[in-house]
Structure 1
Amino acid sequence: MNTTIKRSALALTISGLCLGAATGYASSHREAPFITETPKLDGTDFYMFRSYETGREDYVTLIANYLPLQDAYGGPNYFDLDDDAIYEIHIENSGDAQEDITFRFQFTDNLNDIQLPVGDDGAKQMVSVPLKNIGDATADANVQLSQQYTVTVIRGDRRTGTEQTVTNVTTGTETFDKPLDNIGAKSFGDYASYANAHIFDMAIPGCATNGKVFVGQRKEAFAVNLGEIFDLVNTNPVGPRDGEGAGDLADKNVTSFALEVPTSCLTGTAETSAGDPVLGGWTTASVRQARIINPAPAANGKGATVEGGAYTQVSRLGMPLVNEVVIGLKDKDRFNASEPADDGQFATYVTHPTLPELLEVLFGVTAPNNFPRTDLVTAFLTGIDGVNQPVGVTASEMLRLNPAIPATTAASQSDLGVLGGDNAGFPNGRRPVDDTVDIALRVAMGVLVYTDGSAGSDAPDGNLGYTDGVQLDPAELSEAFPYLATPIAGSPNS
């Protein structure tokens, strides 16, 4: 049944509830019904930017975050990734909405059954311990369960293209170690140094220069006012940008897949009208089509499920907030299973968005009335002409980056990105510092309709400083790869 919501007192309550449902959890945290059942596969944020670490300006950094809302004290198992899944970062460099390069990550669990002698002499039993480690967690012998991963680069279609394995330059092997999560100060005397030892140089087949890779736990960098948003948007959307403090994710961790790749290894035929290269990017997670629960799992920690069939995509993330505040609830699972080339099926959500109408009902601001919303098509589906829009682009949802635009040093970055006069930031790619909630709110309410700064009939309130009242402190970020900060320790927990 289709229902038209009247702008009345009743609509005020209903639309508030709808906005809470549409907003999901942060950039892409638990944003669709099905993905809430599989948090290890939940892609939460995707970053793509020209590296701004000194001396690394000829590289592009790609960061895909998964497994949201991690409490630092979440033991005893903490937050390993799914060894039956594949996690992928896709690059599109031809403007046709089809991936041209894919980096695929696959994980292996390594169980080192640690047993302790228990009992009196003559009656001792060797008994497996329940914890991940029994001492200094930097020593392999003290660790029960760890993970390793491989990285495969695929050129062409992600399933039928040419596959080549990335090499660990340090070891000469095709495997990389994932650091344990930050259990606490007793297990790790210096977690930052331990984690940094898991930043590896990698040799990418077909690339003349090595890149870097890191997969591991990081401090959550996405700043958002979750509780107030879900409470019928119980905040002032045109108040101070820092009026609500640090945000509800300030005490959470996340798991990051970070790559630093030579720019020349990623660019293709997609170019702006000025001849600058343009990269599109997004991340996905996939699992086997069939999963059967084993009623008698093996004693070695494996076998709780039996997996089979083709890999099927269950998570997708490119531009932040699309599946939260743009896609309707009934289509959120469909969006997570879709590919950019098929985004025409979701076009109405962009050309006729509901979020501005809800904000109008809730707060009395005037929603833009320039339908279809071609300004949102530009922001979310094609890129901005003269900045990151390829000539002849196929409209599709993904992050787009013009890597020819010089990187802005960390100290000089504007968290409003292009809206703040910093063309190296969102929506030209996305950096950790970029406040995508505030930017997206302003774009949704029509800031791009303004060309001369004066009010217009299409978006009379489009120049207001919309905000969720939360800002990230740039001091919480690193100025070097992998850019996201050391994760919060599980202990001491204060």
Structure 2
Amino acid sequence: MADKPSPHRSRRRVPTAAVAASALIALAAWAGPGTQGASAGSHIDAPSAMLDPEINAGDLYAFTSPEAPDTATLIVTYQSLSLPVDGVLPPATFGTRTRYDLNIDSRGTGRPDLTYRWTFRDEGQRQFLGVLNGQVDSVSSPNLKFKQRYTLEELRPGKPPKVLVRDAIAAPSRAGAAGMPDYEGLRREATLPVPGGGQVYTGQAADPFFNDAREMEILKSGTELPLPFSPLQGTNVTVMALQVPKKALALNGDPARNPVVGVWATAARETLNVQPGAADGARYAQVSRVGNVIVNEAFAPDNYLTPAAMLRGSPLGVLGGVADQFNTWDAAKDADNHQLIDMVTKLRGPKAFHATHPGLPAPQANPRKDMFQLLMTGLSGKARCPVGEGAACPIREDLNSQVMNADADAGAFRPAEELRLNLSTPVSRTPRKGGFLDGDPQGFPNGRRLTDDPTHVLVRVAMGEPAVKEYAPLFRFTTSGPPTKLAPTFPYLAVPHGLF
């Protein structure tokens, strides 16, 4: 039976022993042949994510659907670094007793005005090997020994949950050409309509993320790796992709008056309620969070391969440190979270880069208002950046801040780490991976398309753009786009990689 609809928000709880035990089992599976270890530019979100790969968030995408411009597409990926299984290795799975949420903030308060929630249940026994009894030509094929079903709900504060999809079968992990000769067909079958317009796909895909790991290292430590390195090519992810009418996302259902929304994804695991006086029963604790790209990976001071982690003898990151804490933080409290604000405004990379490149004086002044604006308020001349001296934000272009929404209460605006999308920006005829830095207003940080390179944008902003242009040629690295050709229509992602 699928998880029951539940209240819109719940308080954080202490994980149960069962959850901890399952995390250790997951670690063993994660460290085995089905995945590869963390490295610069990987998608290990935080040290604890190594213990629970089902909730290891990879990337979040939000963009106007190019073939259906009255809709927007939201995509979140998990289980990065999954190697092709082809029926030989364990399949990638979604977590049961887990809530996967896509949160939409249309007022700029850091609180979700709308949440899309996925919950999963297993059908059949989880298999370590031999997931097929024979050839699979349908997601409901009896030859699949193990399936996962999901329910998708729409949650709005003060309203009862609305079930959009009930107990549907997610697309399985690809199990080779012999066992699944037409994975495209399986994906089409698993792509379902959503009431009110739109569609949903839940399953596996090739990881569309691309970057040159040299960019990540400049952000993390100011260090340049000697050669290009893109560690995610050939890997897969689990995916929740949703296409919905823009009016469903916009404040008061009016994307013309209120075009900007903030998006972030969270995962919450079931925990045991141990608080005195609290009601009996299960509660859920947020254990994963992703908004803008690699915020936790690049900016948390004690994440993997950072100088602080290395000095403490923890090259894979400090368990329980800031990187882990980030995954539990409530976006509604970001404005008062000095640890988060320091993460995104007191950058290590530019100072270290300047020390080794004295002829190229990267910006030295911290706190960085431009990074605060990019990640915490969105770009607008009306936005306020209360870090350092004064409150004015340096980038005056009106692009993607909720303060631009006509019906929003400007006095209630709260900075929060969200991926902000302007629903009114026209689809670019010639998309550029550098987004707004390269004159393409539809690109990152105005949402994020699958062809955007947000790490590239963050490096260039960290080094002074758009105010200072002379550093730009240094940071035009070799990555050109997703490692596998994308599909022209929803869900746009390439089918999972296979070995055979």
State the TM-score, normalized to the length of structure 2: 0.75
Return the letter of the residue paired with 1:288.
E
Correspondence list, 1:241-390, <5 A: 244=228, 247-268=230-251, 275-290=257-272, 309-329=282-302, 330-343=321-334, 344-345=336-337, 346-364=340-358, 365-385=360-380, 386-390=398-402
Correspondence list, 1:84-483, <5 A: 84-111=97-124, 131-138=130-137, 140-156=141-157, 162-167=160-165, 174-203=166-195, 209-226=196-213, 233-235=223-225, 244=228, 247-268=230-251, 275-290=257-272, 309-329=282-302, 330-343=321-334, 344-345=336-337, 346-364=340-358, 365-385=360-380, 386-391=398-403, 392=410, 393-409=413-429, 412-450=430-468, 453=469, 462-467=471-476, 469-473=478-482, 476-483=485-492
Percent same amino acid among aligned pairs? 29
* C-alpha deviation, 1:484, in angstroms: 1.1
Do the aligned residues in 1 keep the contact of 2:40 with 2:216 (CA within 8 Å)? no
* C-alpha deviation, 1:86, in angstroms: 1.2
Find the counterpart in structure 2 of residue 302 from structure 1.
Answer: none
Alignment deviations for residues 170-226 of structure 1 (CA, whole Å, 9 cap, x no partner): xxxx222111111100001111122122110011xxxxx321000111111111334
Alpha-carbon distance in structure 2 between the residues aligned to 1:161 and 1:359: 51
Do the aligned residues in 1 keep the contact of 2:42 with 2:231 (CA within 8 Å)? no
Do the aligned residues in 1 keep the contact of 2:152 with 2:163 (CA within 8 Å)? yes
Do the aligned residues in 2 keep the contact of 1:425 with 1:434 (CA within 8 Å)? yes
* C-alpha deviation, 1:473, in angstroms: 4.8
Q: 1:234 to 1:448 in 2, by over 3 A?
A: closer
Do the aligned residues in 2 keep the contact of 1:152 with 1:164 (CA within 8 Å)? yes
* C-alpha deviation, 1:134, in angstroms: 1.4
Larger radius of gyration: 1
Runs of 5+ consecutive residues of structure 2 not aligned to the other structure = 1-37, 274-279, 303-320, 381-397, 404-409
Q: 1:28 to 1:136 in 2, by over 3 A?
A: same
Return the letter of the residue paired with 2:91.
Y
Alpha-carbon distance in structure 1 between the residues aligned to 2:49 and 2:159: 27
Do the aligned residues in 1 keep the contact of 2:41 with 2:231 (CA within 8 Å)? no
Do the aligned residues in 1 keep the contact of 2:98 with 2:270 (CA within 8 Å)? yes
Alpha-carbon distance in structure 2 between the residues aligned to 1:340 and 1:427: 18
Do the aligned residues in 1 keep the contact of 2:208 with 2:483 (CA within 8 Å)? no
Alignment deviations for residues 428-454 of structure 1 (CA, whole Å, 9 cap, x no partner): 00001001111110011110334xx5x
1:63 aligns with 2:75: yes
Find the counterpart in structure 2 of residue 42 from structure 1.
Answer: 56
* C-alpha deviation, 1:462, in angstroms: 4.4
Tell me how many residue pairs correspond in the alignment: 405
* C-alpha deviation, 1:266, in angstroms: 0.7
Over aligned residue pairs, what C-alpha RMSD do you find?
A: 2.9
Alpha-carbon distance in structure 2 between the residues aligned to 1:284 and 1:468: 31
Q: 1:269 to 1:332 in 2, by over 3 A?
A: farther
Alpha-carbon distance in structure 1 between the residues aligned to 2:182 and 2:254: 45
Find the counterpart in structure 1 of residue 14 from structure 2.
Answer: none
* C-alpha deviation, 1:136, in angstroms: 0.8
State the TM-score, normalized to the length of structure 1: 0.76
Higher strand share: 1
Return the letter of the residue paired with 2:460.
R
Q: 1:227 to 1:400 in 2, by over 3 A?
A: closer
Alpha-carbon distance in structure 2 between the residues aligned to 1:189 and 1:261: 31
Alpha-carbon distance in structure 1 between the residues aligned to 2:475 and 2:458: 9
Alpha-carbon distance in structure 1 between the residues aligned to 2:112 and 2:258: 19
Alpha-carbon distance in structure 1 between the residues aligned to 2:459 and 2:356: 14
Q: 1:112 to 1:28 in 2, by over 3 A?
A: closer
Runs of 5+ consecutive residues of structure 1 not aligned to the other structure = 1-23, 114-127, 168-173, 204-208, 237-242, 292-306, 454-460
Find the counterpart in structure 2 of residue 296 from structure 1.
Answer: none
Query: Which of 484, 488, 491 lines up with 2:493 in the alignment?
Result: 484
Q: 1:280 to 1:25 in 2, by over 3 A?
A: farther
Q: 1:474 to 1:144 in 2, by over 3 A?
A: closer
Do the aligned residues in 2 keep the contact of 1:227 with 1:248 (CA within 8 Å)? no
